[in-house]
Structure 1
Amino acid sequence: MTRLDPAARSAAGLTTQAEVTGREAPAPTTLLEESWRDFVFAEVWTRPGLPRRARFLVAMASAATCGLADGQVEDFVRGALATGALTLAELREAGLHLAVYSGWGNGGRLDRAVTRVAEALGLPPADVPPIRAEPWDAQERNDQGHAEFAKVMTFPPGPPNSPYLVGINTFVFGEMWRRRGLDEPSRRWITLVGVCESGADIPIRSHIHAAMASGNCQPEEMLEFVLQYGTHAGWPKASRINAVVIEMIAKVEKGLPWNG
């Protein structure tokens, strides 16, 4: 960031805000709104370390789960569509994925924002396949879940010996992660927001490690993710995630497991 002139920074912020939200950026009237323009949009969104598509996914997932206004969720949805960063079908997949990792209420909040923006833009309904179109064999579904878990998490799953673990095996990995309407790296960013917001130690550590061990996310992208996430979740939450990311970068480089 070389914009040391306040006027240049503010101008860059307004330009980036308009791109990201898909609408003309209003002039800020409060210090908080100035911080969005001059730091979040002018400095964070213009950094090269994380692709714009990933920033949209992190922003939308964070906005839906961290208490941002519905209009702000819609802004990121509109911007993603306007810039071509994401399609309407991909946004529908994102809502489903967020529901799994942040709860159906938060996933529904994003999904409803997608609906409102799509209707305002006059878009036809997205062509997305159903979760399951044909009857399935229970053992096949179980085996598919085991295989997908091992691929996504980079270590084999344990036995599904509780209703919760059965749900993870059969639906989360046996069905949702196997959907190809949203690529695996994109699913990672939504997942990371969900587990970071959960505050649960094992999911945070294992998913951050898996994101890099799988090759889906690079170490420098993970460090940028923390900054992008922190603008929505706050610095205290992000500080914990930053420490875990740095720890897991070292583990992946040494070929160590997340808990090794």
Structure 2
Amino acid sequence: MTLLDPQQRTARGLALQAEILDLRAPEAATLYDQSWRDFIFAEVWSRDALDRRSRYLIALASAANTGHRAMATAYARGALKNGDLTLAELREAATHAAIYCGWSAGALFDEAVSTAADALGLPPADVPPIRAEPWQHDARMADGMAAFIDVMTFGGPPAKTAYFEAGINGYVFGEIWNRPGLDQRARRWITLVGVCDSAAYTPIHTHIYAAMKSGNTTQSEMFEFILQYAIHAGWPKASVAQGAVIEQGAQVAKGLAFGAKETDA
């Protein structure tokens, strides 16, 4: 049996930590510091089953959602410096995160991006306004319902409450998911962080199902998401989300609609 060398793992962790965060890795002063170096960077970020762009988005949203300002800033700096995400894309990402993680987390995300951009001397991003032209209410509702089907792969709720009308159909799907400044796959990762943190069955299962059913992600990539997400969310929340990936992955593999049983097919 081949033995794995702890010194090699440490060296890999130091190198990846410096590369991913664009910061010289400090000496690990405590056992906790060693866990970042030897596990999170050496063993999680080094995995090649999920691209680094996706990992940055998951990490940024997770750090912001748990109030870890320093790590959110470090992730933003690394993503910008390494060219995995542009400043304009990160502005879109922060705005998207505000929906699913809450505007307080969105503020932390956006501030982390600003701090990183300032440190790198980047000019302001050219980001189109949320809505530049006048619009008709019913047209925006129609856009939202169409976008809901495109994103979720099934029809949305009727706009009979303020939350469904103004929130879901009007703003979330009528405006934000339609924005071209950030691709749908990228928006998925941010959304998944927020819904998995909610610990609410329906958002977790519907969004995990839609992520795979739409073709934005594979089940294998979703398992990688779970491990990356666990770093800031913790193992218990990740365990709940992994159960949903297993369940909804089987649903998608069988070609079943969300919530449908094989006997219904």
TM-score by length of 2: 0.96
AA aligned opposite 1:108: A
- Paired amino acid for 2:25: A
Match for 2:43: what amino acid? E
1:119 to partner: Cα distance: 1.2
Alignment CA distance shift 1:84-1:116 (3 Å) = same
Q: Distance in 2 between matches of 1:186 and 1:159?
A: 27
- How many Å apart are 1:124 and its aligned residue? 0.6
**What residue is the counterpart of 1:248 in the other structure?**
248
Letter in 2 for 1:174: G
**Residue identity in the other structure for 2:148:** F
Aligned to 2:20: 20
Alignment of 1:83-94 (within 5 A): 83-94=82-93
1:17-70 Cα offsets, whole Å, 9 max, x none, are 0111011111110111100000000000010111100000000000011242x1
Residue 146 of structure 2 corresponds to: 147
2:223 aligned residue: 223
Distance in 2 (alpha carbons) for counterparts of 1:249 and 1:36: 30
Work out the CA distance in 2 between the residues paired with 1:67 and 1:174.
29
- Structure 2 distance, partners of 1:46, 1:155, is 35
What residue number does 1:47 align with? 47
The C-alpha deviation readout for 1:68-126, integer Å capped at 9, x for no partner, is: 2x111111000101111000000000000000001000001000011111112111100
Question: Matches of 1:127 and 1:51 in 2, distance apart?
Answer: 26
Task: Find the counterpart in structure 1 of residue 177 from structure 2.
Answer: 177
Hey, what's the Cα distance between the residues in 1 that align with 2:36 and 2:59? 13
The answer on whether the counterparts of 1:99 and 1:106 sit within 8 Å (CA) in structure 2 is yes
Superposed CA RMSD: 1.0
Are the aligned partners of 2:44 and 2:227 in contact in 1 as well (CA < 8 Å)?
Answer: yes
1:164-203 matches, cutoff 5 A? 164-166=163-165, 167-203=167-203
d(CA) in 2 for partners of 1:204 and 1:171? 20
- Which amino acid in structure 2 is aligned with residue 112 of structure 1? E
Q: Which moved more, 1:206-215 or 1:235-244?
A: 235-244
Aligned counterparts of 2:249 and 2:48: Cα–Cα separation in 1: 19
* Identity within the alignment, %: 56
**Cα pair distance change 1:49/1:174, threshold 3 Å:** same
Rounded to whole Å, the distance in 2 between the matches of 1:217 and 1:252 is: 12
Question: What is the CA–CA distance in structure 2 between the aligned matches of 1:147 and 1:41, rounded to whole Å?
Answer: 40
User: Conserved in 2, the CA contact under 8 Å of 1:150 and 1:157?
Assistant: yes
Give the count of matched residue pairs.
258
Conservation of the 8 A alpha-carbon contact between 1:20 and 1:76: yes
TM-score using structure 1 length: 0.97
3-state DSSP of counterpart to 2:163? helix
Ranges of 4+ aligned residues in structure 1 off by more than 6 Å = none
Contact 2:67 2:108 in 1 (8 A): no
Partner Cα separation in structure 2 for residue 129 and residue 3 of structure 1: 54
Q: Is the 8 A contact 1:3 1:9 kept in 2?
A: no
Contact 2:67/2:105 (8 A) holds in 1: no
Query: Alignment partner of 1:12: what SS?
Result: helix
What's the offset of the Cα at 1:3? Answer: 8.3
One-letter amino acid matched to 1:228: Q
Does the 8 Å contact 1:10/1:38 carry over to 2? yes
Q: 1:34 and 2:34 equivalent?
A: yes
Query: How far 1:178 sits from its partner (Å)?
Result: 0.2
- In the aligned structure 1, how far is the partner of 2:188 from the partner of 2:34? 31
